Structure 1
Amino acid sequence: MATLVGWHVELEFTEEGHRTSAAALVRLGDGSEIKARGYALRHPSDPEQLRVGEEIAGARALMDLASQMLQKAHAEIDEATGRHSYPINQ
């Protein structure tokens, strides 16, 4: 059985007033790191629900992270093949 490579993803949140920020970091098997950010804003009349702000900001950071990973992978494909590859979601 082949050994699978593991990725380490970290998410860190900060709260400032009505704004929640998420910083995401993934360490890939090739030693590279990709960083991304996501934000959520709470309307002043909404009740404080820190978990919801974290979920929204975290999801946005992870979506940015995924987009950057796709770009990196396609750049590597393009370099290896000499052709332009097309991500499915674009």
Structure 2
Amino acid sequence: MLAKRWTVQIHITEDGDTTAARAVLSTEDRTHLAGAGHACRNPADPQVPEIGDELAAARALADLAGRLLTASSQNIAQVTSPTSW
């Protein structure tokens, strides 16, 4: 059995009522993919920074997942195209 380790780091920055997150996937073969997410607090809502962090991080992870699916689809197309045989 072969075990691999991929790491995702989430970097969160806050600027007033806006929170930005960047999710970075690193693999053992030094592949890096990144996704971004943002959240903005409605001024009428109470100030709970954790909510902005969670929402921005979730959106960054969703963006990263989409980018990973796109990358795998492109890799499948390269491997299965008649010109790769």
Alpha-carbon distance in 2 for matches of 1:31, 1:75: 18
Alpha-carbon distance in 2 for matches of 1:16, 1:42: 11
Q: Which has the higher helix share?
A: 2
Normalised to the residue count of structure 1, the TM-score between the two structures is 0.85
Amino acid at match of 1:82: S
Paired-residue identity, %: 34
Task: Give the 5 Å matches for 1:39-54.
Answer: 39-54=38-53
Normalised to the residue count of structure 2, the TM-score between the two structures is 0.90
Q: Higher relative contact order at CA 8 Å, sep ≥6: structure 1 or structure 2?
A: 2
Matched, 1:4 2:3: yes
CA RMSD for the aligned pairs?
1.2
Runs of 4+ in structure 1 deviating by more than 6 angstroms, as ranges, are none
Structure 1: segments with no counterpart, 5+ residues: 84-90
